[in-house]
Amino acid sequence: MDFKNTIADILGSDAIKKEEIASSLAPTPSIDKGDVCLPCFRFAKSLHKSPQAIAGELKEKIDASAHPLIGKTAVEGGYLNIFLNRSEAVKEMMSAFRTNGGVTKPKPKNGKTVCIDYSSVNIAKPFHIGHLLTTVIGGSLYRIFNYLGYNAVGINHLGDWGTQFGKMIVAYLKWGDDADIEKRGVRALLDLYVRFHAEAEKDESLEAEGRAWFKKIEDGDSRALEIFNKFKEITLKEVKRVYDRLGVKFDSYAGESFYNDKMQPVIDELKAKNLLTESEGAMVVDLEKYGMPPCLILKSDGATLYATRDLAAAIYRKQHYDFYKNLYVVAYQQNLHFKQIFKVLELMGKTWAADCVHVPFGMVSLEGQGALSTRKGNVVFLDDVLNEAVEKAAKIIEGKNPELHDKEKIASDVGIGAVIFGALCSGRIKDLVFSFDKALSFDGETAPYLQYTHARCRSVISRAGVSEGNIDYGVLTDDDSFTLVRLLSSFDDVVGDAAARYEPSIVSRYLLDIAAVFNRFYLNCRIIGEKPDVMYTRLLLTQYVAEALKEGLKLLLINAPDRM
């Protein structure tokens, strides 16, 4: 039931448009304040009245409507609080769930494409804990936009270009062991990378050798490309295995090297539009009047940079995908970089530059670990973190339910889910210090808590063994039941809000709210053993809770086992 539109239809006028009211309506902070509230502060300036006076006038209007859905209203400060007629509201909402086949239902395709650039690992470098946030935020947004009917395109903009690959070839030729690389993969390549930098501190000539080998890659030297492609193959094989464990999907692995032949047209266009200026031998776009340092396009030796490639990539994506939105899930340290890129695109006359969005996030570290450094070899492999989480989950399950069927699969779902949820339960811009003990707790704001609540729902349904009956809507008008039904009715609104704000944690918080209210409902409202109609009605609500938890967790890349 869409309460917002119903209330907006009643309150809308020439002075305050229905759309404004619908977008302003929000759940009340507590059930004793009502079910929906309308903050009237935004209307004060245009109506030349105090928010409290506006709330009072709207109260009179909604009371006069005598709509069966609305029970009573109250003005508190500048807020109009609206109490719904619970029996009518429950009937509307539960009927809507039954008509729609449940609480959750992916939307029909809307014809709009959303490109999402995330994870973007570096070739020949480890997939470490620092990649966790970009990978799971981007992966979750990919599922969220697909659920809402968009065509999401997951792009892994591989770091597969630069002098470091010349250095890696030097290290491989001097100290590489094919058998070791075959056995240990990227970990062996990391050791070579670390050794190169240690040796280069003693022998500066190694840096020149590295640059020379990268020049060979640029020139298409067959031996250089053979070794470089070998590094790429090893890396992709390893990271794809980790992506499979996380449930993360990509539609494109077009990395930096893909844009080698696409940069010159961008440079030519910048020149033709008189946007390039010389600065100490380099070519830049002057952004001083926009409060930013110049955007470096070509170095003094003519070499291209990240900015050159990102401009080419954005233009290619618009031409190839005709995106509605083009998202970059990249750490907040790159805020300035993306502001520059988007401004340059705007100056080039790309009206779609406004559809390019940087989705920043904080830093991630493991509890008890210092700063990470690939050059020094101080990294924590993400695969190791997942393995440890699964092992710890297996021990917890063994202690709680040693007879559980399919323990290994469930331990994997719980352990990996704990790592993912630990990254997605707070606002993405916050720095994350990951703790195994906190993430794997079955109490509090964790994935195991949500998974256990889902399993509890399934257990109740299974034990009841009831599949048919009559609904008694009056059974669901108590505080816990009604709050639960109201929460479930907002599933699509919450997912839409998460997409609009590029913030998967909105879904996380919502699921935690559902779980908390369901567990109160479970304690306060007996299900099995009640009268047939009461039991059936509460079982149906339990089924909808299970569905919302399962599908909501799915949007967060997390599996929900039926038993735990």
d(CA 213, CA 221): 9
d(CA 447, CA 439): 7
d(CA 443, CA 455): 14
217-236 burial: b if 16+ Cβ within 10 Å, else e: beeeeeebeebbebbbebbb
CB neighbour list of residue 562: distance below 8 Å, 6 or more residues apart: 454, 455, 458
Please say whether the dihedral angle defined by the alpha carbons of residues 182, 186, 187 and 192, taken in this order, is positive or negative: positive
Residues 447/156, Cβ–Cβ less than 8 Å: no
Element spanning 430, H or E? none
Element spanning 382, H or E? helix 382-400
d(CA 292, CA 439): 40
Distance set, CA 544 to CA 35, 461, 484 (Å): 20, 11, 10
Query: What one-character DSSP code corresponds to residue 304?
Result: B
Q: What are phi and psi of 154, to 5 degrees?
A: -85, 125
For the annotated catalytic residues, the residue numbers are 125, 128, 131
Cβ neighbours around 381 below 10 Å, total = 18
Cβ neighbours around 344 below 10 Å, total = 23
Element spanning 259, H or E? none
Query: What one-character DSSP code corresponds to residue 395?
Result: H
Residues 61/11, Cβ–Cβ less than 8 Å: yes
HEC sequence for 165-212: HHHHHHHHHHHCCHHHHHHHCHHHHHHHHHHHHHHHCCCCHHHHHHHH
Crossing angle of helices 407-424 and 382-400, rounded to 10°: 120
Element spanning 315, H or E? helix 306-321
Name the residue among 39, 36, 42 with its Cα closest to residue 3: 36
What the block records as the tokens of 320 is: 């190839």
Determine how β-strand 151-155 pairs with β-strand 79-84: unpaired
Cβ neighbours around 377 below 10 Å, total = 16
* Chain-centre distance for alpha carbon 455: 24
